[in-house]
């Protein structure tokens, strides 16, 4: 993924993963994210357009994936599986052996997808957040 693709990527997210979008997904932030995690985030391109995305990065000890998304008409062809595999490979190259993903509890697609490709649910974890701007309603 390159920052020059931001508009197309953001349009895809609005179709596929709108609930997970926040001020954190501004162009400026994505540019910083891609620089900090060079070569790890991906777009899938088919028929000359972006049909899938994944953000992948790490903090030095654990990997994190966000915005795994495929346009509805391109689903069930293994695109997300391939992007997840590649993200894990890229993270491993950087010495990261374990990666986490946050999935809304009621996101049936996400809840089906991750275990089906071998990711294990961390049933005993709860996510807490603190926002210095008080935007508690945002993810
Ligand atoms: C989740 C998502 C990224 C999967 O993309 P995809 O390219 O269709 O996934 P794949 O084709 O690689 O599927 C891999 C496996 O996941 C499972 N899976 C994927 N979609 C599924 C569905 N709708 N129902 C049940 N299992 C599903 C299957 O086991 C599938 O393997 P199979 O097709 O051989 O049976 C896509 O549905 C999507 O963009 N959803 C909206 C955004 C979203 O919720 N993202 C996840 C955020 S955590």
* Nearest CA owner, ligand 1 atom 44: 110
The three-point CA angle 27-71-67 to 5° equals: 45
* Span from the CA of 83 to the centroid of ligand 1 (angstroms): 11
| Stated pTM of the model | 0.97
User: Residue 139, class by beta-carbon neighbours within 10 Å (0-12 exposed, 13-18 middle, 19+ buried)?
Assistant: middle
* Span from the CA of 106 to the centroid of ligand 1 (angstroms): 15
Distance CA(21)–CA(105), nearest Å, equals 16
Per-residue pLDDT 10s for the chain (139 aa) are 999 999 999 999 999 999 999 999 999 999 999 999 999 999 999 999 999 999 999 999 999 999 999 999 999 999 999 999 999 999 999 999 999 999 999 999 999 999 999 999 998 999 999 999 998 888 8
Q: Among 3.40.50.10320, 2.60.120.10, 3.40.630.30, 2.30.110.10, name the CATH number for the domain at 3-116.
A: 3.40.630.30
Ligand 1 pocket, CB under 6 A: 16-17, 68-70, 75-81, 101, 103, 107, 109-110, 112-113, 116-117
């Amino acid at each position: 993924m390159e920052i020059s693709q931001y508009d197309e990527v953001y349009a895809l997210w609005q179709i596929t993963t709108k609930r997970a979008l926040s001020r954190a997904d501004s162009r400026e932030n994505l540019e910083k994210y891609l620089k900090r995690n060079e070569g790890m985030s991906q777009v899938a391109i088919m028929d000359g357009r972006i049909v899938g995305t994944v953000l992948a990065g790490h903090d030095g000890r654990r990997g994190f994936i966000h915005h795994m998304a495929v346009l509805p008409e391109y689903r069930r062809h293994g695109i997300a599986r391939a992007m997840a595999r590649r993200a894990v490979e890229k993270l491993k190259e950087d010495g990261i052996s374990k990666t986490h993903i946050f999935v809304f509890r009621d996101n049936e697609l996400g809840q089906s997808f991750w275990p089906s490709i071998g990711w294990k649910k961390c049933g005993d974890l709860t996510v807490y957040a603190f926002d210095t701007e008080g935007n508690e309603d945002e993810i």
